[in-house]
């Protein structure tokens, strides 16, 4: 469950009710929880959130659920039932933010439209995260990360030239939307809380996950409409700066190398012992290097293939060239810099004792470090605590449980 308020927590005192499923919207609430908000996770009494079944699941225990919903209290409630709806409206009066990701119109059909929510709590901020937004012809379509990635244009850029578009082996579209969700919540809180309490009003946030992915691709619309160019797949090679590609050492280590700008290109030339390239008209500036990037990449690739990765690192570091081995998660956790920074933390857990996970980002300098939150809760784990704060006694909770309301 959430830890007591900590002085170093920027969102301390903020209460968020997360009734969303799977990953995008819940990730928004989790990120706010990392910053000190109290987050309560609401599920149906029988559970059933698909995230509990997504890999990794170890010995029947859902690691994805445990890490993605870290730091949250867990309650169960069926808002589709009349008693559940009444209890929900009583509950929501004590929260600052509601996070939901049902298809457009679903909450309205349960009698929980914005008018009802704001009647119960006029200061309530509601994050509505869907695949395509609350309006438009696609508003009621189901949405998943790969749909957002494909429709936004992101997947079109990923893959080898002439090959099929590719998705990465992780729901990037969900977590990007979650980042925008956390930003939206923080923005709405800043706007609301800048006013005297008696003047504070709630807000409805309409967040489209597809639009969130498209927002990352800043210049592509201008490149197309003004320049007539549709950017295509180029493998790992960048076509906006050169050299910038993934190379392989003679002993089989993949690494990325970036040479944005003339000074860095000069350092690369010195590192590979080819200062003569600085006088080569083909590589005179970035535009020229882009026109001749295949030849440039081939020169660098040949140099890399003739040396082991250990032999490559000395001249690259001597010349301060930006490069990195392509890390696996094992490499990342073992890296001395990441270890020195404490980039991974152990979440206290009932089954495993501790579950490793990324540390909160960002850090607020000069403040006391936050204590690690516990892993995601069991369904209804904190029912008695949360509903007890509303004045419900054990016998009332037992009756609601028997009726399938909680």
191-201, pLDDT tens digit by residue? 999 999 999 99
* Per-residue pLDDT at 7 exceeds 70: no
Q: Please indicate whether residue 174 is annotated as part of the active site.
A: yes
Q: Which long-range contacts (CB under 8 A, 24 or more apart) does 150-156 make?
A: 151/210, 151/213, 152/210, 152/211, 152/213, 152/214, 152/216, 152/217, 153/213, 153/214, 153/217, 153/220, 154/213, 154/214, 154/216, 154/217, 156/232, 156/233
Say if residue 1's pLDDT is above 90: no
Give the pLDDT confidence score for residue 75 in this predicted structure.
Answer: 98
What domains are defined for the chain? 15-216+340-402 (3.40.50.10540), 244-327 (3.30.1540.10)
Catalytic residue among 34, 174, 297, 394: 174
Instruction: Tell me the DSSP string of 33-56.
Output: HHTT-EEEEEE-TT---GGGGSSP
Residue 17 has pLDDT above 80, yes or no: yes
Interval 244-280: pLDDT, tens:
999 999 999 999 999 999 999 999 999 999 999 999 9
Q: Which residues, 6 or more positions from 406, have their beta carbon under 8 angstroms from its beta carbon?
A: 45, 75, 76, 77, 78, 84, 87, 380, 383, 387, 397, 400
pLDDT at 2: 38
State the average pLDDT over residues 133-161: 96
Q: For residue 366, what pLDDT band results from cuts at 50, 70 and 90?
A: confident
Quickly state the pLDDT bin for 3 (edges 50, 70, 90).
very low
């Amino acid at each position: 469950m959430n830890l007591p308020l900590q002085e170093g927590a920027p969102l301390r005192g903020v209460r968020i009710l997360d009734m969303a499923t799977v990953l995008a919207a819940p990730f928004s609430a989790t990120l706010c929880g990392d910053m000190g908000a109290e987050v309560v996770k609401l599920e149906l009494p029988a559970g059933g959130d698909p995230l509990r079944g997504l890999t990794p699941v170890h010995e029947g225990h859902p690691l994805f659920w445990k890490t993605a919903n870290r730091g949250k209290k867990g309650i169960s409630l069926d808002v589709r039932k009349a008693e559940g709806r009444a209890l929900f409206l009583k509950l929501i009066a004590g929260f600052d933010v509601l996070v939901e990701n049902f298809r457009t119109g679903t909450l309205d059909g349960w009698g929980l439209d914005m008018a009802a929510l704001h009647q119960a709590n006029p200061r309530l901020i509601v994050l509505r995260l869907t695949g395509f937004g609350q309006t438009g012809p696609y508003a009621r379509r189901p949405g998943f990360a790969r749909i957002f990635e494909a429709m936004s244009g992101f997947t079109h850029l990923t893959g080898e030239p002439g090959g099929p578009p590719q998705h990465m082996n992780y729901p990037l579209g969900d977590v990007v939307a979650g980042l925008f969700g956390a930003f939206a919540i923080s923005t709405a809180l800043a706007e609301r809380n800048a006013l005297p309490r008696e003047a504070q009003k709630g807000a409805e946030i309409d967040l489209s996950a597809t639009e969130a992915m498209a927002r990352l691709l800043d210049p592509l619309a201008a490149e197309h409409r003004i320049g007539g160019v549709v950017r295509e797949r180029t493998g790992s090679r960048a076509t906006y700066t050169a050299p910038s590609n993934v190379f392989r050492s003679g002993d089989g280590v993949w690494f990325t190398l970036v040479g944005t700008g003339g000074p860095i290109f000069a350092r690369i030339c010195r590192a590979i012992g080819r200062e003569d390239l600085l006088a080569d008209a083909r590589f005179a500036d970035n535009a020229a290097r882009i026109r001749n990037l295949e030849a440039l990449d081939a020169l660098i690739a040949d140099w890399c293939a003739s040396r082991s990765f250990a032999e490559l690192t000395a001249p690259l570091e001597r010349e301060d060239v930006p490069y990195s081995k392509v890390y696996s998660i094992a490499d990342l956790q073992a890296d001395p810099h990441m270890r020195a920074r404490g980039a991974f933390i152990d979440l206290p857990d009932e089954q495993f004792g501790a579950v490793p996970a990324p540390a909160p980002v960002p850090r607020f300098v000069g403040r006391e470090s936050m204590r690690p939150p516990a892993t995601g809760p069991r369904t209804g784990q904190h029912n008695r605590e949360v509903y007890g704060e509303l004045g419900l006694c054990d016998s009332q909770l037992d009756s609601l449980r028997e009726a399938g309301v909680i």
